[in-house]
Chains A and B, each alone.
Chain A
């Protein structure tokens, strides 16, 4: 096929990518936007296959079939609660593909990358791709709780990471300067991979969305770099679109959590959190009041206004449908029910909205933080279901708390609070929550789903 036709098809794909992204900004057009971008991708793939140079059809088919057989069921069957780690995994394989492509291009050229306009972007793509692959896998492991989600402190971590980056860059420079050693290229990939692992490992699970979003932008940039090396405009444009929009998205997410990107990536909650989290002794002398489902039901039934504060615990227990049932029972009794959604409730901004939408919660009952906070002083009962750090008053009051300054839901301003929780263990950020010791607070221990169902049952008997 004429290369001009292929490039024209690429241009059609760009238009679809850009308009798809623009539509993704708005809730009503987002579904269409995603599909528009997907059509753009299909066109770009077909255009590439139409190139005269395309060969090895059997191997292409093999790769695409393997990818489809793995990717489709994974995307279809993943639970909505596990969505963040799925995105991390998809991002990781993208980065891995770039690193592998860069490696093959290096081998294909017999190791000669002295042509700098190819060599530099290729080395860049290999380093970032490898960081993204391994870093995303660690992020997946943390969110899936295969690796502890707690922040870990690696002694001298900054120096180790700096050293690894220096090794990867030095190897890259040597390769561009004329070294044709494949061993050196492998050193580059391994050093970058270790850097990805060690950079993500110390970061606490609560910061993981920012990490995934950063790695997402990285993968985009390395795709663009690979595009420069391979002289392919589709890779350049799509890669840069993701690199740029991913950077903005990372920034907005970090702002929603009141964290700077730098402080997340340079150790995050790591510094102070472990000592605070481990300070079980500090709980002495403070009283935790526990309640029963029957008492909670009475309290809720005679309230005028109830605000549900859902957190990741609700999502893990798959309690969203049970919560919806309970809310219906309360509404039938004339209680006003709404949901206060913290920007980072769940494990990613917007995650909780997805989960509640799945349970058919009417959209107008979902209140974002800024709308929800003024309402708490008029609320009779706040029902905190599996949320912890986002309700922690320390974020407002205690300057030495690791989450100090994070915007929170002012649950403690409501007349009474019922907290549904499995145990007294601390939240994802690994810190203590004084809300639980507040005299207005009653704790209902147990699995969120069964607790909520019990409350609904008790409501029926009142």
Chain B
């Protein structure tokens, strides 16, 4: 791996200038590397992070068919990685004009990484740097503990998709109330409101009295204010002391829970395992936002490479080549979901709509189709809105908020179904629906969404760990349950239970399997019987799995 040459770097720096002028915001430094095939072989299993810790599974071809992205939130072949400075990878024989286009695309990604709030927890440090030190720690531990390090990595990775990504974010956004003293907050927020349930006028009077005390006595004002209260309400001091006793704040994900409460992990001789688990957890957290913003991120980058390159004078003489490459990247496939195409069109759509003021109430109130078609308030709010969207949305919100029937109609989108035609023995692709709700559901179903599994204290006292899968209409992949739970049992040191839902009855295969004819001409004509779900508890005890009904 080597850095790009000075000539190409100059191109990048020029691109940065123009991108900044257009409103993108990103750090000054960036690193661009030329990668060869060989480099790629080495780093793609490590999700393009060259310094990621070693793990034997990276050396083995992984069976990726089954819900591969559900298992691996990181894209193995990303061009840009979200580090400080941002690192991007290039083929060594791109012509200059193509590099200009790619650089704009890359800058779009960097802007997205550094401004979208879902990436907030990655802003304060350089992941490659941290990964390197983690890698060394793991290498050192491996020299002492051998294969056990790999077992711990394996078991921790088994549950690393359950990390509390959103909890981490919400802690980041926690509003800091500590500008005032805790005592004061307690008095006004809790004591007055919930303990003595003071009326509003009393509350306001107290605020006035506080301000007066401060004005008259300066630094001593607060003490004087409280001495009055303690005279009036002798119980205040005790209540306040009680409130200081720390309550566990925020939810803990499964890995955190194990780290804190597992007796096994907290044994002196096993403490090193916690370090390994922390590394796995941090790594997983780092990759979480990437997969949740795939459509937006690619759409945003595609929007900008098109916008910026078309205005760049370096496109002169390469218009046709650009058109070809750009079309290949951003054309809507006949069947399939291209995040570049979809995301970019949505950003253009949002910009256009907002420019015409169509997100305003005035337009929403309009019912006449003709009038809606012609509506143009010329508010020119488009750019501002797409920047706000890139800052505050993730894929799921992006789709559910902005993808509407007009967009579907405009681009001729549809949900494609696939069915078996038995008489011809072929899979038929057909247009299943052009309804926006169906389309949204189809996308939402294909978006990354790990199961929601929490720890429940059932107070049985035997020290077993009770996990609850909050069912969302999709069962867990059955054959993975045993080994995953075995891993948790190892880390917990005691039996583990998992409560989840399984199919109680499924509509059996219709009639004789060899009955001929097209199964059904009209989609949905055949009334699909509802699947009945049933709650069950899996128990992993001493590496043996058993299942019982509730």
Partners in one complex: no
Which residues of A are in contact with B by a Cβ distance under 8 Å? none
Interface residues of B (CB under 8 A from A): none
